[in-house]
Amino acid sequence: MPNIFDLFRLDGKIALVTGAATGLGASIAEALAQAGATVAVHGNRRAATETAEAIGASAAAFRADLSSTTGAEELFAEVKQKFGRIDILINNAGTIIRHNAVEYPLEDWQTVLQVNLTSVFQLSQLAGRDMIERNAPGKIVNIASLLSFQGGIRVPAYAASKGGVAQLTKALANEWAAKNIQVNAIAPGYISTTNTEPLQADETRNRQILERIPAGRWGQPMDIAGAALYLSCPASDYVTGTVLTVDGGWMGR
């Protein structure tokens, strides 16, 4: 029996965390770095330089727009050029655009699907192919949502994309399990980030949400970081194709 804490170490591993300038991505990147990984931190509107600076020498910042069909390929190439490989891919970048379904513009639908689902597939395919070619183990962690299970209100594209993320996670896990590549997802509950600012600011919605969460509080980005570390490290080597809810009990209610 190895020392159990050693199985939570990531020394010598290279991780890419998308959407790491803020919110969940920034926390996950810092957690992986604390566990010993070298971390490529990605941003969209700006490179994730503040996250990289907070981590220090074992991080580098990148920038790519994943709403473009070529963004994933460009990002993967840049990280590979800098670090040589990716052992751990955290597909965290995501966007949400709210409209009533009857007037949802196709352009917004396509943006949400490209960022939240298609780019996740593209990056996973690039990373998985590279891991298989190197005959190396790997970890892919996709950030799903409670809307992987539920429909939400005024967010049909987001719900469709996150439902797709959960299914894609299982599809890739099945194909790559025998190659020692584990693919899992985390479905965060209601976490306090810029993504959820409109909900937190809406007094009625905020009250309704809190009443429904058994833990009685919004989650914090750090609540997701522990789950992300677990699914990125050898302690989870026999876990694949799962969607782990981290939601203060929401789904159990």
Closest separation in Å from C-beta 79 to ligand NAP: 14
Structural tokens at position 99: 């409209």
**CB nearer to ligand NAP: pick between 180 and 192:** 192
Distance in angstroms (rounded) separating the CA atoms of residues 97 and 157 = 8
Stretch that binds ligand NAP, among 22-30, 128-136, 149-157, 238-246 (CB under 6 A): 22-30
Q: For residue 103, what are its two tokens?
A: 């007037």
| Per CB under 6 A, 156 contacts ligand NAP | no
Residue 118 binds ligand NAP, judged by CB under 6 A: no
The least distance separating ligand NAP from the CB of residue 166, rounded to whole angstroms, comes to 12
Count of residues near ligand NAP by CB under 6 A: 26
Q: Considering the rule CB under 6 A, would residue 25 count as an interface residue with ligand NAP?
A: yes
Catalytic residue among 104, 158, 190, 238: 158
Q: Residues interacting with ligand NAP, by CB under 6 A?
A: 19, 21-25, 43-45, 65-67, 92-95, 115, 143, 145, 188, 190-191, 193-196
Q: Which residues are catalytic?
A: 158
